Amino acid sequence: MTATGNPPRSRGGGSQSPQSLVAGARRHGVEVLRPDVNASAVGASLVGAQPRVRLGLSGVRRVGESLARRIVETRAAGGPYADMADLEESVADLWATGITTEGYPTRFLRERLAARGVTAASGLRDAEAGRRVLVAGIVTHRQRPATAGGTTFVNLEDETGLVNVICSPGVWTRHRVVARTAVALVVHGRLERAEGVTNVIAERMWPLPVAVASRSRDFR
Pair 100, 74: CB distance under 8 Å? yes
Last residue of a domain, one of 55, 78, 102: 102
On whether both 91 and 122 belong to a single domain, the answer is: no
Query: Same structural domain for residues 33 and 93?
Result: yes
If you average pLDDT over residues 75-81, what whole number do you get? 74
For residue 116, tell me if it sits in a domain: yes
Query: Helix crossing, 64-78 with 84-97: angle to 10°?
Result: 130
SS3 39: coil
Asked which of 102, 122, 153 is the last residue of a domain, the reply is 102
Tell me, yes or no, whether 196 lies in a domain. yes
CB of 87 closer than 8 Å to CB of 79:
no
Residue 73, domain extent: 18-102
Cα–Cα nearest to 181, from 118, 139, 135: 139
Mean residue pLDDT of the chain comes to 78
Whether residue 10 lies inside any domain: the answer is: no
169 and 68 in a single domain? The answer is no
Say whether both 179 and 200 belong to one domain: yes
Same domain, 95 and 114: no
Whether residue 35 contacts residue 58, with contact meaning beta carbons closer than 8 Å, is answered with no
pLDDT higher than 90, residue 166: yes
Distance CA 42, CA 28 (A): 24
Residue 195: give its domain's CATH number.
Answer: 2.40.50.140
Q: Are residues 68 and 43 in the same domain?
A: yes
Range ranked top by mean pLDDT from 57-61, 67-71, 159-163, 216-220: 159-163
The C-alpha atoms of residue 126 and residue 144 are separated, in whole angstroms, by 28
Provide the CATH number for the domain around residue 31.
Answer: 1.10.150.870
What distance in Å separates the CA atoms of residue 172 and residue 166, rounded to the nearest whole number?
10
pTM of the model: 0.56
Q: What is the pLDDT of residues 125-153, one digit of tens each?
A: 889 999 999 999 989 889 988 888 899 99
Classify burial at 97, counting beta carbons within 10 Å of its beta carbon; exposed 0-12, middle 13-18, buried 19 or more: exposed
Residues 154 and 76 in one domain: no
Residue 163 belongs to what H/E stretch? Answer: strand 161-167
Which residue blocks in the chain are alpha helix, DSSP H? 18-27, 64-78, 84-97, 110-115, 169-174, 176-181
Rounded Cα distance between 153 and 165, Å, is 6
Based on the fold, state whether residues 60 and 112 are members of the same structural domain: no
pLDDT in the model for residue 14: 45
- pLDDT digit string (tens) for 104-120? 778 778 888 999 999 99
Residue 2 lies in a domain: no
> Is residue 1 assigned to a domain?
no
Residue 174 has pLDDT above 80, yes or no: yes
What's the pLDDT score for residue 101?
Answer: 45
For residues 36 and 52, is the Cβ–Cβ distance under 8 A? no
36 and 86 inside one domain: yes
d(CA 87, CA 90): 5
Query: How many independent structural domains does the chain possess?
Result: 2
Is residue 152 domain-resident?
A: yes
Domain boundary among 102, 117, 148: 102
Q: Is residue 94 part of a domain?
A: yes
Q: Say if 176 falls within a structural domain.
A: yes
- 125 and 198, same domain (yes or no): yes
* Residues 67, 151 share a domain: no
200 and 120, same structural domain? yes
The pLDDT of residue 51 is above 70: yes
- pLDDT tens-digit readout, 53-64: 888 888 777 777
Q: Give phi and psi for 146, each to the nearest 5.
A: -60, -25
